[in-house]
Structure 1
Amino acid sequence: MSDLAPLAEAVAVDPLVGHPADYHVFHNFLERCKELPAITTAVVWPLSSVALRGAIEAAEEGLIEPTLIGDEAEMKALADEIGVDISNYPILQADTESRAAELGCIMCRSGNAQAIMKGSLHTDELMRAAMNKDTGLRTNRRISHVFVMDTPAYDRTLLISDAAINITPELEDKVHIIQNAIDLAHALGIPEPKVALLSAVETVNPKIKSTLDAAALCKMADRGQITGGILDGPLAFDTAVSARAAEIKKLESPVVGQADILVVPDLESGNMLAKQLEYLGGAQMAGVVLGARVPAILTSRADSAETRLTSCAVAVLMHYATHPVIKV
């Protein structure tokens, strides 16, 4: 018998995460959106089949009212090729990706769009326009990205930040990253999210900067500099999501084993974590950018139309969390 056989058997009998494998998060988001009006959305450069189809399907689901921004002739040719009808949607002509991104930001700044959606252009191109100090979408908050995960083996909505915008965030940046994620969690129906500040270990080590940041951030939350959530860290990934792992390591806190938000040390670790959960763990994920004037629906060019649909739903819930529907 292999030396690994007893370990494999133990994991099969006593898994560290015992939730039955199912999807339980994104369906609820889409159901909630059925009670809400569609949001006007600037769709920037939807010149791939997935990008264009995702925008139109989101419109047909009643999530967004899109304005398509890009080369009109190319979009119409693509629509004919993939069998999508775009005749009912306004089109803004843009000859280049950068001009399309600029027009999308102008629509949002003028109040003609309540969200902006990335099409098939590169993320840097869209964010360069959005982060322009004079003509972009910046506020007094630092802009950050959140992956919202529907993970089969985990019985909670899981948010991961930041895995797409801030490369090596400093302590002050992480304050904004955390507050943005907490505010999104509230919009998604999590009234007091549990925030795990991830590192490689659970103890403060002066040689590991993420542990020092985690300790400082927890104290800042104690002093009211971060509000609306419960913070703990440093925590390793296993103790953040597994009560059994925390028990083995003799850790006790309101966060261990039931984190709603995972705050990663840097973009590389966050991006790898999210995509490992997606490709090897079977997770579904949505992507949204926070801290701007409007929600930015930011997905990978490789993402499916289904992912873009759910990302739109997250943006809808985020919009109406700060702009409640007035019932007549």
Structure 2
Amino acid sequence: MKKPTTITNKTWAQLRVGDSASIERVCADRDLFLFAHVSGNTNPLMLPGVEGEKPAEAPIAPSMWVGSLVSAVLGNILPGPGTLYLEQNLQFFKRVHVGDRLKVSVTCKEKRDEPVVVFDTSIVNGGGEPVCQGLAIVNAPTRNIETPVRELPALIMEEKEQFPHLIALAAQLPRLKTVVVCPEDHNSLGGPLLAYDKGLIEPIFIGDLERISAAAHALDADISAFRVIDEKNHRAAAGRAVAMVRAGEAGAVMKGDLHSDDLLAAVVAKDGLRTGRRISHVFVLDTLTLDDLLLVSDAAINIAPDLLTKVDIVQNAIDLALACGMEPKVGVLSAVEVINPAIASTLDAAILSKMAERGQIRGGAVDGPLAMDNAIDMDAARTKGIVSLVAGHANVLIAPNLESGNLLAKELTFVSHAEAAGLVVGASAPVILTSRADNENARLVSCALAQLYAYWRKNGRPFTGAAPAKNLAAE
């Protein structure tokens, strides 16, 4: 049924005793959080538990939130716009929990001297049981008002944990043996230890033994059960880690407290983890406003990629998206959505799009050039007259160069409050390349990405939940 675009009222003169109106509303977690913000009431009985923890009891909706639903009927429907409260009393009979469907009704009981009107108010649950009853006394409007239905500004709520689906999925796989290079501070050691606790990896630590031990002491962590290889030189530590992966002793490499160049030099060396494809970095972002994950590449390795490098960047990003169970829709970004020979990135984007059509890039839909707005937003795409499988729906964004990609990923992280993880792909094994400033959660999710990507490389399909029998250590 088409939603009304305007709302109208009934004046005091038009109201008749017996007139009634109602709405239905389902109580959601979001309602409880928003009410807590507005009211300041953070009673733990009335807030959902921390994600991943099973609450002792389902949260109870605050009674005043339940009662406040009456105002939506009075203010929007009957009498409608222009109504002002004078008095409201409420009596509560049953508790409301998340998921309960409520029917909120008002009925005109009495008309007093203009403009005063008395309404019976009632709220019943999905089983027809009374939840709340009361009496409302209002000043009804004295003139007819017709007003457009107002779209309220969107509210973004931050969650404490991101990527829960990826972590839960990866935890079903056997632990991935991972060489952690120079975990010599609390973040670079705490991340892999958290990933171990979550069942994602089996870490092998290589670096300065004294500094690793000091980091463990600072975390109050016992690392005696793990293999620790003493190597004080960062470049040498990275080389030994890559050699262990090549020898089948581990299935992935993870960056610790060392410079990215030191690790990547070992990865791309002739005796490193080279394949026939250029390596690239993919940021995977869990945003607050998009339903799907968002991948951004390349923002960390290839500074000014030429066309052939971009082919590999696109293919690498598609592969990781597939490993995460996504249907890749790749938007190749530029400043504009039309081909302009003066803007080289528009030419590259158009060629990449045609290469995907011809099967030279596989596994996802690719379109470009696209500006950021019409890559992500359907209304922007329609306004510009762009019709494609990707425009307005892109979940993989390919930046023209490292600078723009890095700016985009960092803006989404620090301004738009997206949670970010990342992985280097295109090598013969996953390379978990996080910033030294990344927190433990970013490293945890990056380990989950490595797990899923390793499985996809071995099996040619995403992991969907049925844990395989074989260990991934030798991948």
Q: Same fold (TM over 0.5)?
A: yes
Name the residue aligned to 2:234.
97
Match among 354, 360, 375 for residue 240 of structure 1: 375
Query: SS of 1:232's equivalent?
Result: strand
Match among 436, 440, 455 for residue 301 of structure 1: 436
- Deviation track 1:253-288 (CA, whole Å, cap 9, x = no partner) reads 111111110000000000010000000000001010
Match among 383, 386, 389 for residue 254 of structure 1: 389
Match among 162, 169, 172 for residue 308 of structure 2: 172
Name the residue aligned to 2:348.
213
Equivalent AA in structure 2 for residue 26 of structure 1: F
Distance 1:207 1:322 in 2: 39
Q: Residue 323 of structure 1: CA displacement?
A: 2.6
1:80 partnered with 2:217: yes
Using a 3 Å threshold, how does the CA distance of structure 1 residues 261 and 25 change in structure 2: closer, same or farther?
Answer: farther
Name the residue aligned to 2:452.
317
Q: How high is the TM-score relative to the length of structure 2?
A: 0.64
Which 5+ residue runs of structure 1 have no aligned equivalent?
A: 1-11
Distance 1:167 1:42 in 2: 27
Match among 257, 275, 281 for residue 410 of structure 2: 275
Query: SS of 1:323's equivalent?
Result: helix
Name the residue aligned to 1:144.
280
Distance 1:140 1:182 in 2: 17
- Note if contact 2:253-2:430 (Cα within 8 Å) is conserved in structure 1: yes
Runs (4+) off by over 4 Å = 12-15, 18-25
Distance 1:30 1:113 in 2: 20
- Note if contact 1:146-1:181 (Cα within 8 Å) is conserved in structure 2: yes
Name the residue aligned to 2:325.
189
Distance 2:321 2:275 in 1: 20
- Note if contact 1:21-1:153 (Cα within 8 Å) is conserved in structure 2: no
1:290 partnered with 2:425: yes
Looking at both structures, which has the greater relative contact order when contacts are Cα pairs under 8 Å and sequence separation is at least 6?
A: 1
The percent of aligned pairs where both chains have the same amino acid is 49
Q: Which moved more, 1:250-259 or 1:166-175?
A: 250-259
Using a 3 Å threshold, how does the CA distance of structure 1 residues 148 and 241 change in structure 2: closer, same or farther?
Answer: same
Equivalent AA in structure 2 for residue 125 of structure 1: D
Equivalent AA in structure 1 for residue 307 of structure 2: L
- Deviation track 1:19-51 (CA, whole Å, cap 9, x = no partner) reads 965669611101111211110000000111100
Match among 345, 359, 363 for residue 228 of structure 1: 363
Distance 1:151 1:19 in 2: 13
1:45 partnered with 2:202: no
Distance 2:469 2:279 in 1: 32
Equivalent AA in structure 2 for residue 185 of structure 1: A
Which 5+ residue runs of structure 2 have no aligned equivalent?
A: 1-149, 460-466, 471-475
Equivalent AA in structure 2 for residue 171 of structure 1: L
1:31 partnered with 2:168: yes
Q: Residue 326 of structure 1: CA displacement?
A: 4.0
1:157 partnered with 2:324: no
Using a 3 Å threshold, how does the CA distance of structure 1 residues 142 and 327 change in structure 2: closer, same or farther?
Answer: same
Equivalent AA in structure 2 for residue 222 of structure 1: E
Q: Residue 322 of structure 1: CA displacement?
A: 2.3
Name the residue aligned to 1:8.
none
Name the residue aligned to 1:9.
none
- Deviation track 1:230-257 (CA, whole Å, cap 9, x = no partner) reads 0110000011111111122222111111
Equivalent AA in structure 2 for residue 206 of structure 1: P
Q: Which moved more, 1:25-34 or 1:277-286?
A: 25-34
The RMSD of aligned alpha carbons is 1.8
Q: Residue 124 of structure 1: CA displacement?
A: 0.8
Which one has a larger percent helix, Structure 1 or Structure 2? 1
Q: Residue 184 of structure 1: CA displacement?
A: 0.7
Equivalent AA in structure 1 for residue 232 of structure 2: D
Distance 1:14 1:223 in 2: 45
Distance 1:85 1:208 in 2: 55
- Note if contact 2:173-2:468 (Cα within 8 Å) is conserved in structure 1: no
Q: Which moved more, 1:154-163 or 1:76-85?
A: 76-85
Using a 3 Å threshold, how does the CA distance of structure 1 residues 244 and 21 change in structure 2: closer, same or farther?
Answer: farther
**Count of aligned pairs:** 313
Structure having the higher Rg: 2
Distance 1:187 1:230 in 2: 16
- Note if contact 1:117-1:297 (Cα within 8 Å) is conserved in structure 2: yes
